[in-house]
Amino acid sequence: MALLQVQTESGIVEGLTGWNQAVSIFRGIPYAAPPVGDLRWKEPQPVEPWEGVRQCFKWGNICYQKRRASEGGGDLIGNEFYCVDWPLSEDCLYLNVWTPAKSADEKLPVGVYFHGGGYTAGYGHLNCYDGEGFAKRGIITVTLNHRLGIFGYMAHPELTAESEHHASGNYGVLDLVAALKWVKRNIAAFGGDPEKITVFGQSGGGMKSTSMVATPLAKGLIRGAIMQSSGGLERTRNGMTTTLDIAEQNGVKMLESMGVHSIEEARKKTSEELLQGVQDYVAANPVDPMMVFSPITDGYVFPECWNDLFLKGEYPDIPTMIGCTADEMEQKNAVIPEEAKIDAMADHLFGEGYRNQFKKAIHYPEDPEYTLRMYKKYVMMTGGTQAADVAWCENQVAQGKTPAYRYFLTLVPPTAENAHHSAEHQYVFQTLTKSSRPYTGRDWDLSNQLADYWANFIKYGNPNGENLPKWTPHTKESPLAMNIDYELHMFESPTNDLVDMMIAYDLKKI
């Protein structure tokens, strides 16, 4: 029988038996003190110890965020992922553990999963993030909630002045580090090996995995990383960190738009008031909230832009696995914008000086059909994500580090129109039954294979295993990816002039 009571550094926690009787689930374990009151916009603090047994039967609160209009049903995202209106609170620093261990001395490998939703939404107990599938494969799985949006990524000159590190704004990243440190200190009691921790995540979670490779604060905490549909080496705007001075300016402007002129005043605002203030600010300004709230080059959490660190080879040499879907966030109803907007898009993605190269890469204006296809599919996300994956793999080789394993998912799930963003979730986590899609036996066969690949990587730093098609790493001689479809095979993933331009830009070759 799996462990049901565990002694952690703060006290005893009690879990539940999973659907699989050999797996125990501990929900809502605090890994840091509630970041409320005077601790709002402060580094995570230690948990206050408790007496007796803490029953960890319920999921922890999720960070205050804008509810999805589709939450509870409606569109694909609402039906597939955001199915329950979970309680919102700034008191959100909780994690969940699935363990198959029968005793504390088993030293099982550990996978820590970071949820998607960028830096403004999401939580660690989405219906598709069930750790039992990995636990059945001998892996302890951890998911967690952390600060998001204005609560996790607002910088401000007063906050910088308060900080002993003269930094502000990376509170959500510091939460991830605090969670990893908690896992490092406590996971042995759950039967885990603190020297075998791998981080993985999809979309915003892929960026968060990348951030843990980049920050010196996580050095020695992880031995591997998986980055799905975001992350890697991406120098176009979507993958860049913000400078501290710009982030501070954004923080001042945002608070002033709410009639708030000091951090003391801001700490007196309710969570609802701050969240509404952000929504009003974004509505009144042509700004993407994903750009307002993102990791910051603050000189402390990130001494410099992490892409520059990667290009200089100043990061740990650990096994990595990276990939994306073929269609990600395709914009079906897009139309070709006028030239001024195309120029603005080039400036946004690459900075000034790349307008002509960008137009050439999207064949504008000579081939409208091609330009529209690039705009619909590649400009918004797919191109940048695919390029970042290839750039990461090529940089691993150039820096003499461990070659990465890359995948490219072309699978079109049942009733889906394309290989969309998040298509792999239920397959990797073996949660097909939690979806409304009419999956069949071949979907379960593929799910077993993908879960095995991911589990093997978490165990060994290598996805290969018995009865699986061989997955070779991306090397200079063989720059191939695993094509994830019903028939798995290695191939040279499709590319185009725009993706090639993005790869060259990411690697500072143009």
* Averaged pLDDT, 359-381: 90
DSSP-based three-state secondary structure for 489? strand
pLDDT, residue 236, reads 82
Strands 224-228 and 24-30: unpaired
Q: For 310-334, what is each residue's pLDDT tens digit?
A: 999 999 999 999 999 999 988 777 8
Bond from prior residue into 87 cis (ω within 30 degrees of 0): no
Which one-letter DSSP state was computed for residue 123? -
Which residue is catalytic, options 203, 211, 230, 493?
203
Mean pLDDT of 387-409: 98
pLDDT at 76: 56
pLDDT per position as a tens digit, 26-72: 999 999 999 999 999 999 999 999 999 999 999 999 999 987 654 44
18: helix, coil or strand?
coil
**Residue 254 φ/ψ, nearest 5 degrees:** -65, -45
Whether residue 73 is predicted with pLDDT greater than 50 in this model: the reply is no
| pLDDT tens by residue, 122-179 | 999 998 999 999 999 999 999 999 999 999 999 999 999 999 999 999 999 999 999 9
pLDDT for res 127: 87
Give yes or no for a contact between 202 and 134, defined as CB atoms under 8 angstroms apart.
no
Summarised one tens digit per residue, pLDDT across range 284-309 is: 987 666 667 999 999 999 999 999 99
Report the candidate in 450, 405, 418, 463 with the shortest Cα–Cα distance to residue 327. Answer: 418
Average pLDDT value over all residues in the chain: 94
pLDDT at 78: 56
User: For residue 409, which amino acid is it?
Assistant: L
Q: Tell me, what DSSP letter sits at residue 501? A: H
C-alpha to C-alpha distances, 106 to 101, 109, 139, 181, nearest whole angstrom: 7, 9, 11, 20
CATH number among 3.90.75.20, 3.40.50.1820, 3.30.2130.30, 3.90.25.10, domain 5-328+452-465: 3.40.50.1820
Count the Cβ atoms, other than its own, within 10 Å of residue 252: 17
Classified as helix, coil or strand, 161 is helix
Among candidate residues 182, 164, 158, the one with its CA nearest the CA of residue 46: 182
Calpha distance 192→437 (Å, rounded): 34
Q: Is 211 a catalytic residue?
A: no
Domain ranges in the chain? 5-328+452-465
pLDDT digits (tens, 9 = 90+) for 241-297: 789 999 999 999 999 999 999 999 999 999 999 999 999 999 898 766 666 799 999
Residues 201, 226: contact at Cβ < 8 Å? yes
Among 232, 169, 240, 236, residue whose Cα is nearest residue 206? 232
pLDDT band, very low/low/confident/very high, at 238 (cuts 50, 70, 90): low
Write down the pLDDT at residue 291.
66
- CB environment 226-251: b (16+ within 10 A), e (fewer): bbbbbbbbbbbebbbbbbbeebbebb
- The span from the CA of 296 to the CA of 335, in Å, is 33
Please give the model's pTM, rounded to 2 decimal places: 0.95
pLDDT level of residue 239 (50, 70, 90 thresholds): low
Residue 388 pLDDT exceeds 50: yes
Q: Spell out the residues 6+ positions from residue 187 whose beta carbon is closer than 8 angstroms to its own.
A: 97, 110, 140, 142, 193, 194, 197
Strand partners for 306: none
pLDDT at 69: 53
CA atoms within 13 A on the CB side of 273: 11
Q: Is pLDDT above 60 for 182?
A: yes
| SS3 assignment, position 346 | helix
pLDDT at position 333, please?
Answer: 79
Please list the helix, strand and coil fractions of the chain in percent, rounded to the nearest 5, in that order: 40, 15, 45
3-class SS at 394? helix
pLDDT at 331: 78
